[in-house]
């Protein structure tokens, strides 16, 4: 493990998170493992409720209060999961940038944009007021915001959705992070603005050598903007490989189902095939493969715990990789 830790910015190893309520302990994610190297974008993909955002919260060290987290998280060679709260907050605040789906929930409505950016810059980089304001203007300019000095004096509600997301990106990269986690950063935007923001994130990643965790349920975005993909289902990683392989030749029946249900992959939209059923809610996962009740290939083997195995060039948690009916 040590060699992969040193060549990666982020290594997540066997990360599990459960929520405690009285005497009940409810598993939310189990044994999630993946890594992200410098300049690489890794997608966390899966239907709603699969555990993508909660995985991000555990990496950031900001899980729900009643969470029990196990496993290891390494950031550029430092095992951040072993740091105390204060050490973790200090390191992650500077080294990890976070971009939310809806900037209005992350940006303060009654503080000027300038104040929010300069507070962060002064706290983490120790800049003077004037130097922080100069740096804030540079950052806004860099993310494509016109008249940055003027915008710094304004408030977030005065901006369009796309501009707000640019401010969020400026804030995320302001302290020179090594890792940026973007949780559905373009879902709330219209298609044209979505494309601009995705291109900006690609540019920032290349220019600053950022490692990026990109949370999305859009497989088209995964194929176009991410190097590797971690497919999650009911708190579990079920397929992990290059996005090219995962999107163009998926191996797990769940990933195949997701691709078949994606409009961009089907010229004939009348033939879109939705996956039958829904993701089982936490607390109601079946034993063995959690996808088995929705899978046309499932059999007795699937009720035992599937191990990761190789199918094509991806890792996959399935007894029937590539649609094989028997082993």
Which residues contact ligand ATP by CB under 6 A? 19, 28, 46, 48-54, 64, 217, 281-282
Least distance to ligand ATP, CB of residue 282, Å: 5
| Closer Cβ to Mg ion, 58 or 137, answer by number | 58
Beta-strand pair 24-36/78-79: unpaired
| Closer Cβ to Mg ion, 29 or 204, answer by number | 29
Please calculate the CA angle 162-167-168 and round it to the nearest 5 degrees: 95
Among Mg ion, ligand ATP, none, residue 292 binds (CB under 5-8 Å by kind): none
| Closer Cβ to Mg ion, 182 or 311, answer by number | 182
Least distance to ligand ATP, CB of residue 50, Å: 4
| 187 near Mg ion, rule: CB under 5 A | no
Task: Provide CB contacts within 8 A for 275, sequence distance 6+.
Answer: 254, 257, 258, 260, 261, 294
The stretch near Mg ion (CB under 5 A) out of 12-20, 52-60, 174-182, 228-236 is 52-60
Instruction: Find the binder of Mg ion among 33, 53, 72, 312 (CB under 5 A).
Output: 53
User: Which residue's Cβ lies closest to Mg ion?
Assistant: 53
The stretch near Mg ion (CB under 5 A) out of 49-57, 108-116, 197-205, 312-320 is 49-57
| Closer Cβ to Mg ion, 33 or 53, answer by number | 53
| Closer Cβ to ligand ATP, 50 or 136, answer by number | 50
Least distance to Mg ion, CB of residue 56, Å: 8
Least distance to ligand ATP, CB of residue 62, Å: 11
| Closer Cβ to Mg ion, 97 or 321, answer by number | 97
Among ligand ATP, Mg ion, none, residue 217 binds (CB under 5-8 Å by kind): ligand ATP
Binding site for Mg ion (CB under 5 A): 53
């Amino acid at each position: 493990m040590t060699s992969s830790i040193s060549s990666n910015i982020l290594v997540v190893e066997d990360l599990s998170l459960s929520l405690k309520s009285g005497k009940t302990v409810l598993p939310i994610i189990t044994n999630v493992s993946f890594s992200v190297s410098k300049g690489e974008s890794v997608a966390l993909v899966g239907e709603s409720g699969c555990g993508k955002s909660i995985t991000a919260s555990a990496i950031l060290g900001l899980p729900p209060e009643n969470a029990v987290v196990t496993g290891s998280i390494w950031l550029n060679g430092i095992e951040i999961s072993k740091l105390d709260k204060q050490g973790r907050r200090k390191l992650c605040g500077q080294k990890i940038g976070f971009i939310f789906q809806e900037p209005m929930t992350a940006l303060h409505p009654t503080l000027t944009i300038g104040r929010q950016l300069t507070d962060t810059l002064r706290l983490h980089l120790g800049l003077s007021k004037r130097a922080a304001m100069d740096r804030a203007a540079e950052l806004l300019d860099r993310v494509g915001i016109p008249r940055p000095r003027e915008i710094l004096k304004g408030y977030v509600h005065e901006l369009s959705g796309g501009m707000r997301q640019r401010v969020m990106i400026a804030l995320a990269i302001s302290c020179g992070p090594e890792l940026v986690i973007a949780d559905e950063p373009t879902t709330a935007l219209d298609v044209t603005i979505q494309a601009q923001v995705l291109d900006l994130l690609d540019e920032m990643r290349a220019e600053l050598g950022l490692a990026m965790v990109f949370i999305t349920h859009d497989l088209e975005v995964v194929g176009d903007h991410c190097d590797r993909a971690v497919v999650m289902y009911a708190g579990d990683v079920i397929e992990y490989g290059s996005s090219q392989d995962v999107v163009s030749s998926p191996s797990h029946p769940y990933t195949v189902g997701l691709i078949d249900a994606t409009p961009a992959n089907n010229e004939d939209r009348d033939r879109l095939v939705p996956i039958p059923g829904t993701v089982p809610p936490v607390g109601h996962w079946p034993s063995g493969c959690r996808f088995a009740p929705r899978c046309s290939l499932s059999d007795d083997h699937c009720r035992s715990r599937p191990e990761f195995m190789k199918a094509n060039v991806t890792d996959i948690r399935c007894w029937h990789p590539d649609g094989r009916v028997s082993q």
